[in-house]
Amino acid sequence: MNIEHFIFSDAPQRVGPFSHAVRAGEFLFVTGQMPTLKDDKSVLVSGGIEAQTTQVMENLDDVLKHANTNFDKVIFARVYLVNFQDFDKMNAIYERYFTPGKLPARTCIGVTGLAVGASVEIDFIVAL
């Protein structure tokens, strides 16, 4: 199986030592994105879970575009939430990025903390 690692110089800055995405066969594994500004990984967006979810989805969109794919090809998502009281608010933003009726399979996991003090992180598996 051919495996390719992608680090995109003009995609959102990485908050750790990892690839933005890894292609393995016919799948693309997109690293979880944080609600940080694209050009400054130290700046967490303000405005609560809605703003953080929007920034995460925009950062994911940026990585998908660099990998020449889009939300329609996402087959699985993992959402990590620090506070499950944010579940409905996060879902309202998350769902807007997908074609109605074509949502990926998903797992949502409650965690005690995330990098950079984030409230939400999302990663994807994409069909190529």
What are the pLDDT digits (tens) for 26-83?
A: 999 999 999 999 889 989 999 999 999 999 999 999 999 999 999 999 999 999 999 9
Q: Which of 85, 89, 97 is nearest to 33 (CA)?
A: 97
Question: pLDDT class for 19, splitting at 50, 70, 90?
Answer: very high
At 81 the pLDDT is 98
Range of the domain at 13: 3-127
At 44 the pLDDT is 94
At 110 the pLDDT is 98
At 113 the pLDDT is 97
Quick one: average pLDDT of 80-105?
98
Residue 101's CATH number: 3.30.1330.40
The domain total for the chain is 1
pLDDT above 70 covers a percentage of the chain that reads 100
Q: Which of 62, 71, 3 is nearest to 33 (CA)?
A: 62
DSSP E strand stretches across the chain: 3-6, 21-24, 27-33, 36-37, 40-44, 74-81, 105-110, 120-127
C-beta atoms surrounding 31 within 10 Å: 21
Q: Mean pLDDT score of the chain, rounded to an integer?
A: 97
At 93 the pLDDT is 98
Whose tokens are 């769902």? That residue is 95
Q: Which of 39, 85, 42, 81 is nearest to 58 (CA)?
A: 39
At 68 the pLDDT is 98
